[in-house]
Chains A and B, each alone.
Chain A
Amino acid sequence: MADFRVRQGSGASSGSQRRASIISGIYANRAASCRSQSTTSDGKAVDRGSLAGNKYAIRVFDEEGKDVTPHPLFHSDPNTVVPRRTYGSSSTSISNASTTESILDEIVEPGSRGDTTVSLSDVQVRQEEIKEELTKADLDRRVDLYLTETETVWILDMPSVVVSVESEDAGRVLERNRIYVDICTNRPGNDRFVEKMMQTINGAAKNKEVQCDKIIMEDKGMMVTSWDLYDLFHISEIEPTSKAEGSRTTTGKSSKSHTTKEHDRTMSVSSDRGSPTSSTMILESAVLARIHEEEECHSEAVLTSENFQQDLFFMERILMENIFQPKLAAYRQFPVLTDPDVTSDTSGTVTAMKEAKQEKHDKEKKDKEEQKEAFIDPSILSGLNKTPEEIVPPRLERLWSYVCDLTNGHSVSSMVWSKVNPDLLAVGYGAFDFKEQKKGLACCWSLKNPMWPERIFQCEHGVTALDFSMASPNLLAVGMYNGSVAIYDVRSCNDAALLDSSESSNKHTGPVWQLRWVEQDRGATGDGKKERLICISADGRITEWLIQKRLDCTDLIKIKRTESEKKKLPGEKERKSEALISQQAAGMCFDFHPKDTNFYLAGTEEGHIHQCSCSCNEQFLKTYRGHKGPVYKVAWNPFSTDMFLSCSADWSIILWHQDSQTPILTFSSATAFVHDIMWSPKSAFIFAAANESRVEIWDLSVSTLNPVISLFANPRVKFTSVLFAKNTDCLLVGDSKGEVSVFELQNLAAPNSNKVDTLRDVIGPAVAI
């Protein structure tokens, strides 16, 4: 603000007094507010009222003391002021952000010329322009604004007190400095300097107290871990997915019922197993919700979320594993682990292993008593505790059974292993008798959960036959009592069949007693091994089913009734041929030759077994007569492939050779239907048979008269089917109560795989050919 000169009195140019006032006005205004505006002359606009007010507060006196405060020259006229005001206001608004210099710039309006100080010239210009009258045309006219740079205005000038040694003044400055130093040194005793004291007025001090809010200090500690950092970086990816999950509050009813079912199951676990096992479940939500409704929704969301289902699933499996661990280990032929800490009684824990083993044996004894199993040799019980040097007779040890509430009461009709997963078992439930028919069931059980099946397929009619496909291992073909065949996809939990034969016109009219996927060389068509679904049913047809959009079948062969050879008794007249009710005999079972899949055997209800070929569908190749009742099962020996076994309702099992039309050996040990037989997959000599009241294991290398192991069932229960396990020495037995028990075969004669064809040799002496 150094360059302002307030001119008083007579000035060089006209209107100096005005200028004086104006300048002072400017000065005051600038002093007053930083948002300073250069003023025009007096009282121009309303928003300059403050300036005017300022101006009026300032009174100018010239040298004589006369009040020379000028009166406002210009009285604001609304008409003319308006345009002016807009100009002015625009400049004011613009000048807000700009420096003082630019304020001056903008105020410069066309035609401004200043010869004195910049501010004065501005002001002068504006003053002159006030007198113009603006027309409407003028308002619309384009106005050119010229911005020019003014001279530099010094606001603050602090001349330096440092002078370069090389400058012109250097010498003078140095001289002055020296003089000054001299003066300073001369000062104390010099007459020219007198010390004088002055008293200043001290202003009255005032104490002022200010109170502020308490400053609250908080300590916060944080531990940063490496995964925390990792999470932060990935939070953007995780966010959208978690939001999607959170919004899913409602899910289908099936999943909810599944949850409750599982819950019930775990509850039933504790009730079924009674004292030994009890598992309790706590479910906890780690989310704190502020609103109660939100909390409810959230817990619903949690309970029905997929993650939760999966967690429950895993948990259940682990529980099962814990419960069944010793049994499963025996199944897998691992050494059984026992928990050294856990002892049911308070006996000491010395040599825990032995003791646990003892306990296990005790438990087995209890089990045996419960099951009312009778062994051939009762001394086995004591024999267990003896050292293993003695030969222990073979026995079946019950490991566990696949049973659940759902299957209780349904009779097991067939069992089959999955072709790819040797731990997956499919069991069909359905009654054999016409009178006992109810809705059937096909379940897939897994080794990992013996208490609840993995898949449950409800069927309209009793299931009488099952098989897994080899080519597409997820397909399960199910044959039913009403003759229809359905194909299920095991991968899905869906209850509906993938394909059903109900619409097929050619379907069976009698129960499908056996069903199998057979791999065959279709040399004619040029394909490699192709798999076909073949069934035999009580309406006397063996059919092959084609899997296209709908299930349709073609006949392989129709089983014609053959007359039985009857010896003519003397005295009897020649009889006419029997009047046959139907031309066809009901087929009960079939088996394809393990080596040459063109041949197969078919067992019928009349007791005959026919050997047929796929290439010839009119006639049988051979007929084996020997059974007096319906043949329930035929099975080729997997090792000695020219012998086969058949069982029937005439209480007997017959061993045949394929070349001879009379039986080789007959096994009969009980007066009961033999429902099922199966050769052991490990040995050529061993097979299992299910009578109604017993399960028998026969070992032909040991004895052909008596079974090696014979296991009795509970009185009310009948055994209906047997299945050997492929990867372990276990036998599965299904009964009429719906229970599939797993037994471990112990101490059977070890099979010698070198001797393949010696079955013939073994039984040779016993055969009367």
Chain B
Amino acid sequence: GIPIRTTLDNSTTVQYAGLLHQLIMKARSTVRDIDPQNDLTFLRIRSKKHEIMVAPDKEYLLIVIQNPCE
């Protein structure tokens, strides 16, 4: 996909966008396979260094990367 607005540098943005796009497709497919009337609304991935939160929609993906404050 094409980034519309970003606060990171371009290469990182593109990388995140591409990889997360595929992941969202997979996650959405999983959710809907179980129940076709269901749909994915939010995805959170917690890792050692960050937390990645993705809000998918039909037309766009909203991705937020947060450093935990602990």
CB-defined contacts of A471 to chain B, threshold 8 Å: none
CB-defined contacts of B58 to chain A, threshold 8 Å: 242, 307
A225-B32, A356-B70 known; A282 and B1 CB under 8 Å?
A: no
Q: Are B64 and A344 in contact (CB under 8 A)?
A: no
Main secondary structure on B side of the interface with A: mixed
Q: Are A282 and B16 in contact (CB under 8 A)?
A: yes
CB within 8 Å of B: which of A303-318? 303, 305, 307-308, 311-312, 314-315, 318
Q: Are B68 and A284 in contact (CB under 8 A)?
A: no
Within 8 Å of chain A (Cβ to Cβ): is B8? yes
Q: Are A286 and B55 in contact (CB under 8 A)?
A: no
Looking at the assembled complex, report how far the CB atom of A271 sits from the nearest CB atom of chain B, in whole angstroms.
12
Within 8 Å of chain B (Cβ to Cβ): is A283? yes
Q: Are B44 and A318 in contact (CB under 8 A)?
A: yes
Query: At the interface with chain B, which of A334-342, A380-388, A719-727, A744-752?
Result: A334-342
Looking at the assembled complex, report how far the CB atom of A306 sits from the nearest CB atom of chain B, in whole angstroms.
11
CB-defined contacts of B37 to chain A, threshold 8 Å: 230
Query: At the interface with chain B, which of A154-162, A273-281, A499-507?
Result: A273-281
Q: Are B69 and A280 in contact (CB under 8 A)?
A: no
A314-B55, A356-B70 known; A284 and B2 CB under 8 Å?
A: yes
Proximity string of chain A (264-294) to chain B, C-beta cutoff 8 Å, 1 when within and 0 when not: 0011000001001111111111111000000
User: How many chain B residues have a CB neighbour from A under 8 Å?
Assistant: 37
Q: Are A287 and B1 in contact (CB under 8 A)?
A: yes
Q: Are B70 and A284 in contact (CB under 8 A)?
A: no
The residue that B55 contacts in the complex, of A226, A280, A315, with Cβ under 8 A, is A315
Looking at the assembled complex, report how far the CB atom of B6 sits from the nearest CB atom of chain A, in whole angstroms.
5
CB within 8 Å of B: which of A330-355? 338-339, 341-342, 344
Q: Are A282 and B7 in contact (CB under 8 A)?
A: yes
A225-B29, A318-B44, A342-B48 known; A285 and B59 CB under 8 Å?
A: yes
Docked Cα-Cα span, A279 to B6, in Å, equals 12
A-B contact count (CB 8 A): 144
Which residue in chain B gives the minimum CB-CB distance to A296? Answer: B4
Docked Cα-Cα span, A344 to B69, in Å, equals 9
Q: Are A308 and B69 in contact (CB under 8 A)?
A: no
Q: Are A226 and B33 in contact (CB under 8 A)?
A: yes
Proximity string of chain B (25-60) to chain A, C-beta cutoff 8 Å, 1 when within and 0 when not: 000010011001100001010001001010101111
CB-defined contacts of A298 to chain B, threshold 8 Å: 59
Docked Cα-Cα span, A468 to B68, in Å, equals 36
Docked Cα-Cα span, A125 to B16, in Å, equals 90
Q: Are B3 and A319 in contact (CB under 8 A)?
A: no
Looking at the assembled complex, report how far the CB atom of A328 sits from the nearest CB atom of chain B, in whole angstroms.
13
CB-defined contacts of A249 to chain B, threshold 8 Å: none
Q: Are A284 and B65 in contact (CB under 8 A)?
A: no
Which residue in chain A gives the minimum CB-CB distance to B57? Answer: A307
Docked Cα-Cα span, A636 to B44, in Å, equals 49
Q: Are B2 and A311 in contact (CB under 8 A)?
A: no
Q: Are B57 and A308 in contact (CB under 8 A)?
A: yes
Looking at the assembled complex, report how far the CB atom of A343 sits from the nearest CB atom of chain B, in whole angstroms.
8
Docked Cα-Cα span, A281 to B53, in Å, equals 10
The residue that A267 contacts in the complex, of B7, B32, B42, B70, with Cβ under 8 A, is B7
The residue that B64 contacts in the complex, of A302, A319, A341, with Cβ under 8 A, is A319
Q: Are B53 and A315 in contact (CB under 8 A)?
A: yes
The residue that A283 contacts in the complex, of B29, B48, B60, B69, with Cβ under 8 A, is B60
Q: List 13 A-B contacts (CB under 8 A).
A: A225-B33, A227-B29, A227-B33, A230-B32, A282-B16, A285-B61, A286-B1, A286-B59, A299-B2, A302-B59, A314-B55, A338-B70, A339-B70
Top 4 A-B residue pairs of the complex, sorted by shortest distance between their CB atoms: A227-B32, A230-B36, A283-B5, A277-B69
5 more A-B contacts (CB under 8 A) besides A319-B64, A319-B66?
Answer: A281-B5, A283-B60, A284-B3, A319-B53, A339-B70
